[in-house]
């Protein structure tokens, strides 16, 4: 109340800083001063000791996972607690969200079994049991792609020789991916593989032609509103896709090494397929954009960086091939939209949409998924910058980071973002994939390309996936990594943040938490071993975004688990 401020402490939480420990955990630190940080591979036990300017020493001990987190410090602005009703609602959401997931699974698999789905091949040419099994396998593949990326990327800062004998599968994966520029290659290739699989999943589990006007199971008949919302618009399918993905991310984030040691052979099911797809050159257009953005930003590039991409003749050939393929794919996607040949203008609820409206809707979907992808990259980048660097020149970006880094908003945004990304993937699969089967288009001509071209590349969604992953995902990621402040310095991204927070607050996907706890106990995953490594950190050198107001505590406590330890790891996606 008008008293002198302590040395080095700014108003509010401006003294706060973030330090990245070798385990990859972002920690919100007390006031400036040298800190001794004890780290572990998985930060289940992190001890920090601080000596502030003129302040008594304070300590903060964080036990992430099954143990209790305790904090002892002299922070003059203690975190604000959330209302008990908010906490109670979140607890209840674990129950009803799980019930919604079970209901969604029943409806989706019933639709596949009744042959009311929309596979990319002729309906009836395959048995429903085969389609159900394929749907399950592909969904499992998506989960391990997400989880393995969290683990492999999260282990970048850990010397792989420390777990060579104890975790052989993890060692084999990391040895290949962490070599040279392979991390970037792995992420880019995995992105296309993931998107294409989700495209196929959305077709196999998506709504097809019903024998009657509305969905029914026996004598239980839905009304038209329920049919449109839950079945035709694939709302239940989205839940079936999103929740397992989040479960895999949470498991991998908490126990990175243990996840890679599971019996799904990550080296053969994740690492090699991702690197192989990248090597083909389908996504090399992303590298062209990256070079362009780096040039525009004026950042000096270290030519001797071991992580820098090797540029030989074969590299430039693939870049040319990728750019040409993206243009070729875009031509056919837009041709199909205006000619009424894609799923955007066919099917119940979509057949009255004109071509120009389908085109605008597709651009909107691409913009949303791109913003979600880029926002995440920009958020991670800005977490390491002083907010004073852009508070004046980019006020909207500053205000957005104030919201994003307050309390549990970062974690909530990442979960809400995942909902939007999955939703856009399913919708883009519909609007960019051609309708019809066996290479026969629903209307119009095929420009003489032939039925094989139509069936293999258009109706399966391959060309649509190529266009979406390069234009709607990787391009926004590259732009955000080069211009993080400029990327979020607008009202659109701030509105997106608000909407994502609201989506997460509904608790619709909170079934991921009890499922994660249950699967972890069932598999008896072991915590990552403690490295015992000591590091001396200067908080002033890594000052993070300031927080002007008191922030709310995390309330995702259930059976002794801590929410923060999981969702910061989701930021690796």
H, E, C per residue of 230-275: HHHCCHHHHHHHHHHHHHHHHHHHHCHHHHHCCCCCHHHHHHHHHH
Q: Is the dihedral of CA 369, 370, 372, 373 positive or negative?
A: positive
Higher pLDDT, 503 or 157: 503
Mean pLDDT of the chain: 77
The answer, yes or no, to whether residue 259 has pLDDT greater than 90, is yes
Give the HSE-up count for residue 268: Cα atoms under 13 Å, Cβ half-sphere: 4
Tell which residue, 301, 288, 315, has the closest CA to residue 478. 288
Residue 432 to residue 336: CA distance in whole angstroms: 8
Q: Could you report the per-residue pLDDT of 142-196, keeping only the tens digit for each?
A: 999 999 998 998 888 889 999 999 999 999 999 999 998 898 899 999 999 999 9
Q: Torsions phi, psi of 16, nearest 5?
A: -65, 150
Q: Give percent of the chain above pLDDT 70.
A: 76
Q: What is the DSSP letter of 434?
A: B
Q: Which CA distances in Å does 377 have to 145, 333, 480?
A: 19, 27, 6
**pLDDT of 118:** 86
Residue 152 to residue 142: CA distance in whole angstroms: 15
Collapsing DSSP to helix, strand or coil, 130 comes out as helix
Torsion of CA 240, 147, 98, 349, to 10 degrees: -20
**pLDDT of 348:** 60
Q: DSSP letters along 55-114, please? A: S--EEEEEE-SSSPPEEE---SSPPBPPPHHHHHHHHHHHHHHHHHHHHHHHHHHHHHHT
Banded model confidence at residue 31, pLDDT cuts 50, 70, 90: very low
**pLDDT of 444:** 75
- What angle do helix axes 235-254 and 512-523 make, rounded to 10 degrees? 50
Collapsing DSSP to helix, strand or coil, 537 comes out as strand
Q: Which residues pair with 49 in a beta bridge?
A: 36, 59
Q: Is 255 within 8 Å of 248 (Cβ atoms)?
A: no
**pLDDT of 352:** 72
**pLDDT of 530:** 53
Q: Could you report the per-residue pLDDT of 51-90, keeping only the tens digit for each?
A: 333 333 333 333 333 333 333 334 444 555 677 888 899 8
Residue 554 to residue 328: CA distance in whole angstroms: 48
Q: Is the dihedral of CA 527, 533, 534, 538 positive or negative?
A: negative
Residue 522 to residue 181: CA distance in whole angstroms: 36
Q: How many CB atoms lie within 10 A of CB 484?
A: 25
Q: Which two tokens stand for residue 203?
A: 């077709």
**pLDDT of 302:** 66
Banded model confidence at residue 253, pLDDT cuts 50, 70, 90: confident
Task: Round the CA-based radius of gyration of the chain to a whole number and report it.
Answer: 25
Higher pLDDT, 536 or 108: 108
Q: Is 22 within 8 Å of 533 (Cβ atoms)?
A: yes
**pLDDT of 507:** 92
The answer, yes or no, to whether residue 17 has pLDDT greater than 50, is no
Banded model confidence at residue 347, pLDDT cuts 50, 70, 90: low
Tell which residue, 69, 6, 144, 3, has the closest CA to residue 561. 69
Match 């392979």 to its residue by tokens: 182
Q: Where is average pLDDT lowest: 64-73, 232-241, 324-333, 474-483?
A: 64-73
Read off the pTM: 0.75
């Amino acid at each position: 109340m008008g008293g002198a401020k302590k040395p080095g402490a700014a108003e509010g939480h401006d003294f706060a800083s973030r330090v990245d420990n070798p385990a990859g955990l972002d920690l919100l630190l007390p006031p400036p001063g040298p800190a001794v940080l004890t780290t572990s591979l998985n930060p289940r036990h992190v001890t920090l000791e601080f000596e502030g300017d003129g302040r008594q020493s304070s300590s903060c001990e964080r036990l992430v996972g099954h143990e209790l987190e305790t904090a002892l410090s002299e922070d003059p602005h203690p975190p604000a607690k959330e209302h008990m009703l908010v906490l109670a609602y979140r607890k209840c959401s674990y129950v009803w969200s799980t019930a919604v997931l079970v209901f969604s699974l029943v409806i989706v698999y019933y639709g596949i079994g009744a042959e009311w789905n929309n596979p990319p091949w002729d309906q009836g040419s395959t048995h429903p049991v085969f389609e159900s099994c394929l749907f399950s396998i592909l969904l499992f593949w998506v989960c391990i792609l997400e989880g393995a990326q969290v683990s492999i990327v999260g282990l970048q800062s850990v010397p792989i020789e420390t777990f060579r004998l104890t975790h052989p599968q993890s060692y084999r994966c990391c040895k290949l991916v962490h070599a040279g520029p392979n991390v970037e290659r792995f992420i880019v290739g995995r992105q296309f593989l993931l998107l294409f699989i989700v495209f196929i999943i959305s077709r196999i589990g998506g709504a097809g032609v019903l024998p009657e006007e509305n969905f029914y199971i026996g004598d239980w008949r839905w009304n038209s509103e329920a049919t449109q919302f839950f079945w035709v618009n694939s709302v239940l399918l989205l839940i079936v896709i999103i929740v397992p993905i989040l479960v895999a991310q949470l498991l991998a984030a908490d126990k990175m090494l243990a996840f890679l040691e599971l019996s799904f052979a990550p080296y053969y099911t994740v690492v090699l397929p991702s690197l192989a797809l990248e090597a083909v050159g389908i996504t090399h257009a992303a590298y062209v954009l990256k070079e362009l953005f780096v040039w525009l930003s004026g950042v000096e590039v270290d030519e001797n960086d071991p992580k820098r991409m090797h540029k030989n003749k074969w590299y430039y050939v693939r870049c040319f091939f990728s750019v040409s393929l993206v243009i070729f794919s875009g031509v056919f996607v837009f041709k199909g939209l205006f000619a009424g040949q894609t799923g955007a203008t066919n099917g119940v609820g979509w057949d009255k949409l004109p071509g120009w409206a389908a085109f605008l809707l597709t651009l909107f979907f691409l913009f949303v998924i791109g913003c979600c992808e880029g926002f995440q990259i920009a958020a991670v980048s800005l977490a390491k910058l002083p907010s004073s660097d852009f508070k004046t020149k980019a006020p909207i970006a500053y205000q957005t980071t104030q919201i994003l880094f307050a309390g549990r908003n970062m974690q909530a945004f990442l979960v809400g973002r995942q909902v939007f990304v999955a939703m856009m993937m399913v919708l883009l699969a519909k609007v960019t994939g051609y309708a019809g089967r066996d290479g026969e288009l629903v209307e119009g001509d095929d420009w003489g390309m032939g039925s094989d071209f139509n069936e293999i590349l258009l109706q399966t969604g391959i060309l649509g996936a190529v266009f979406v992953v390069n234009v709607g995902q990787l391009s926004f990621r590259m732009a955000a990594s080069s211009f993080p402040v400029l990327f979020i310095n607008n009202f659109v991204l701030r509105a997106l943040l608000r909407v994502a927070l609201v989506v997460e607050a509904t608790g619709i996907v909170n079934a991921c938490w009890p499922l994660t706890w249950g699967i972890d106990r069932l598999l008896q995953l072991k915590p990552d071993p403690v490295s015992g490594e000591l590091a001396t950190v200067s908080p002033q050198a890594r000052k993070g975004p300031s927080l002007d107001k008191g922030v709310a505590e995390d309330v995702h406590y259930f059976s002794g688990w801590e929410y923060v330890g999981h969702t910061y790891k989701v930021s690796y996606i």
